[in-house]
Copies of this chain bind each other. A is one copy, B any other.
Amino acid sequence: MSVRGGLDLGGTKIQAIVFDTTGERVLAQARHPTPREGGPAAVVDALVAAQQEAATQAGTTTERLGGVGVGSPGEIDGAAGTVARASNLPEWEEPFGLAHALSERLGTQVSLGNDVDVATQAEFALGAGREASSLLGVWWGTGVGGGLVLDGKPWTGRGSAGEIGHMVVRRGGARCPCGRRGCMEAYAGRRAMEARARAKAKAGEKTDLLKLMDKLGRTTMSSSVWARALEREDKLAVEIVNRALRALGAGIASAINLLDLEMVVIGGGLGVRFGEPMAKRIAAEMLPHLFFDDRPPAVHVATLGDLGGAIGAALLSERLAPAAAA
């Protein structure tokens, strides 16, 4: 039995697990909020605390884990163990040696991967993509990330492939949190959706989104806030989600026109929360843009749910383990 740690570092939360990679079982888990300030040092503290809590629950310590994998946003240099330009994390522009910093504190080897890449790998290995040989993972959350598996292997290009959220769906269009214009994420990312909702509410448009946020005790419009607003058929929420779906349809269809893949797996906070009915709607929004629309790809929701990223991180730790330690 190989027991490894997995850390999924998201824009709003950190998910830690202890995973039995042989039995493919989650032995324990812990979830902490992602610090909103304090830079990389604060994030390291939070990651360590989450992984330690999960280890304790599994009746072990982080030092006894075979290794820990981390799925991180931003620009990853897996070989150097650094993360740079993680715009959804606090004050994290310059490359920071996350693998080394964590390894010192956790007392075991730490491997870094892109958060969406590892989550896509997890869905490919153990989730919705088990039957596929090639797939596109679309992680619909704070931002919109993408992961690719081509002929059974992760495709990362020169290290940073998968930025599907920054494919242009409307040249000269809405301002994206990344600063560019017309990116898919400018319409479909939770952060951009929230900014639009707040602006519209401020301009006097009627909506329960802010009330629901307070009621659910959130400081941001989380996926549960959006889900609740849709249940109530809140007009503004419906309008903003429809706009997001149109952008997702155009962007994902563009990716399929380029790559002709057999499957799309929708994950991320919003993707998993909204589930299969919304995956069907994304598929419908893709259709008018698909060049070969008589054989669209299958569109499924990630089945590993909230834990997919952390499971993928644990699998990464195993994949990258030195042969001697494997």
| Residues of A bordering B, CB below 8 Å | 75, 134, 146, 148, 150, 155-164, 166-173, 178, 180-182, 246-247, 250-251, 253-255, 257-262, 288-289, 291-292, 295
Contact = CB atoms under 8 A, between A and B. Distances in A.
Contact of A291 (B178, B254, B291, B292): B178
Contacts of A159: 260
Contacts of A166: 254, 257, 289, 291
Contacts of A255: 258
A261 to B, nearest CB: 6
A190 B261 CA distance: 28
A259 B150 CA distance: 11
6 contacts: A150-B155, A163-B257, A163-B291, A164-B258, A168-B253, A178-B291
A158 B262 contact: yes
A161 B260 contact: yes
B258 A171 contact: no
A284 B298 CA distance: 36
A154 to B, nearest CB: 12
A167 B254 CA distance: 4
A95 B247 CA distance: 33
Contacts of A168: 169, 250-251, 253-254, 289
Contact of A171 (B160, B246, B295): B246
A146 B257 CA distance: 10
Contacts of A160: 260, 291-292
A261 B162 CA distance: 11
A170 to B, nearest CB: 5
